[in-house]
Amino acid sequence: MLDSQKSWLKTREKCESKECLKELLQHRIKELQNYTAHTGNVWLGTYELQQNLYFGWFKIQKCDTNNICEIKYEAILNKSEFNDMHICGEVLMKLEIKNNNKAIAYYDGEEKCRLNLELNKNGILITEQKPKDCYMGCGAGTEISVNSLYRKE
């Protein structure tokens, strides 16, 4: 189940009247009409990178009709003899698709923290992070790996 579906169900539980439920359903229908089918966008899917002790992945779940998508990043730096496991959990971003093979991901709705992405037949290549020191809430080796290919699952 998508995060947006879970969120909507929680909101729906707060309704105590039929009128409230009717309004929520009408709003939800309008919201869903804005999204394309899951198979309608080449960017949708899960992309993974395993490099030494690092394992990171992007999940692009849904895109609207304006080619703006929800993207989630997570990563793990596995335990080694020198340190404990580090986890970067659910960094939510907005993905703006420019064409079938180029897009920009914005962190936390802030256009000042962005990633340039290229899609090819093997996956997504993160070509640039602007600014280079942009902090996306991850650390200790779980940062997004620039100039690395995240392969489509």
Q: For the chain, give every domain's residue range.
A: 1-40, 45-152
Residue spans of alpha helices (H) in 14-113: 18-33
pLDDT value of position 24? 82
Q: What pTM does this model have? A: 0.71
pLDDT value of position 117? 95
pLDDT tier for residue 108 given thresholds of 50, 70 and 90: low
pLDDT value of position 38? 45
Cα–Cα distance for residue pair 110/99, rounded to 1 Å: 21
What average pLDDT does the segment 91-98 reach? Answer: 90
- pLDDT tens string 18-53: 888 888 888 777 776 655 544 468 899 999 999 988
Q: How far is CA 63 from CA 50, 67, 94, 151, in A?
A: 26, 6, 10, 20
Tokens of 81: 């003899």
